[in-house]
Structure 1
Amino acid sequence: MTMQNAIDWPERFLPGTGDNFVSNEVIVEGVTAARVWPYLTDTSTWESYYDAVTDVAFPEGDGPVLKEGLVFTFEPVGAGAVRTQHARVVACRAPGEGAPGRLSWTAGQDGAPEERLEVLHAWLVEDLPGGRVRVLTQETQIGPPAVELARQVPDPMLNRHQAWLRGLIAAASDGR
């Protein structure tokens, strides 16, 4: 039996306690966690394989490679009431021998109470036996825009995150 790792969740964003939660995962052969990791953490590659995020910027400098504590902004495309997100990386550890890569950031948007949104977007990238890689991404959202997203069937976040995973794996597989 193979045990798979899980996302480490801060209590405030524990799945099932917010207004919207999505979970997406892929497991594929022929790609390693080490190959996937740079495409996930280097934001300059995102727009080449994922069309639902634009205008990644680093208001405090640094970037484009994510690291713990880094502040960045981005514009989600096709996210309805969700607009420019202000994010901070809270965990960033590359995959290593027997240990998964872990990346997560908090993000949000300010505004009137009905526009406020807080999220924790987390990623786990791990090698599995048999030359396989597993990429898991999960997001908890809190606030009125999240309530509206959760009412939609299917949840647009679920579809956007699945597209992100597909693009990430294709980029890592193709080496573009």
Structure 2
Amino acid sequence: MSTAIHWPDRYTPGTTDNYVSNEVIAKGITAAEIWALLADITKWETYYWNCTEITPPKSGPKLEEGSDFQFSTFGFPPLPCTIRESVAPSASQPGRIAWEAVTDGEGGKTIYVYHAWIVEDLPGGRVRILTQESQIGDVFKDFAGK
């Protein structure tokens, strides 16, 4: 089974300035254990070295659909983000989390980013972790070598 990201039309891969995808299949950890780290923004800095200046949602550290948060990565100032999808994994469905970041910059510095994750248990005690990001903006053209 290959579960795919639910892309908003604006962010369809191949139509944006840059797109990145990473996938790993691991053994010895479950989708629920990964979800506990991914859906709690206060845990990010424990495993992602390129994440700083985190501001959790006002409702708390859990990333739920519609909640707003901020974080800095890759030298960007803190990005204002909104959770667009947040579904915990279960026996019948993969976990899904996605956020959108939009900055209204001047002089070609406006950016649009959609970052999505899927975590799902696989047969044989394995788990699939898929993360993909679609990016729009002049800075991402540079990332992609365009």
User: Smaller-chain TM-score range?
Assistant: over 0.9
Contact persistence 1:43–1:65 (CA under 8 A): yes
Q: CA deviation at 1:111?
A: 1.5
Alpha-carbon separation, structure 2, partners of 1:63 and 1:53: 18
> What does 1:128-143 align with in structure 2 at a 5 Å threshold?
128-143=122-137
**What secondary structure sits across from 1:61 in the alignment?**
coil
The letter for the 2-side match of 1:93 is V
Give the match for residue 17 of structure 2: 19
Q: CA deviation at 1:49?
A: 1.1
Q: CA deviation at 1:121?
A: 0.1
Q: CA deviation at 1:90?
A: 0.4
**What secondary structure sits across from 1:151 in the alignment?**
coil
Q: CA deviation at 1:65?
A: 1.1
> What does 1:65-76 align with in structure 2 at a 5 Å threshold?
65-76=62-73
Alignment equivalent of 2:140, drawn from 137, 146, 158:
146
Alpha-carbon separation, structure 2, partners of 1:41 and 1:10: 21
Contact persistence 1:23–1:138 (CA under 8 A): yes
Alpha-carbon separation, structure 1, partners of 2:23 and 2:124: 18
Give the match for residue 166 of structure 1: none
Alignment equivalent of 1:115, drawn from 95, 109, 112:
109
Task: Give 4+ residue runs of structure 1 displaced > 4 Å after superposition.
Answer: none
**Aligned positions, number:** 146
Give the match for residue 42 of structure 1: 40
Give the match for residue 97 of structure 2: 103
Q: CA deviation at 1:100?
A: 0.2
Higher relative helix content: 1
Q: CA deviation at 1:110?
A: 2.2
Contact persistence 1:83–1:109 (CA under 8 A): no
In the superposition, the TM-score normalised over structure 1's length comes to: 0.79
Q: CA deviation at 1:97?
A: 1.1
Deviations 1:151-174 (A, max 9, x none): 19xxxxxxxxxxxxxxxxxxxxxx
Deviations 1:59-79 (A, max 9, x none): x61221100000011111xx2
The letter for the 1-side match of 2:53 is D
Alpha-carbon separation, structure 1, partners of 2:66 and 2:128: 25
Give the match for residue 29 of structure 2: 31
Give the percent of matched residue pairs that are identical in Structure 1 and Structure 2: 47
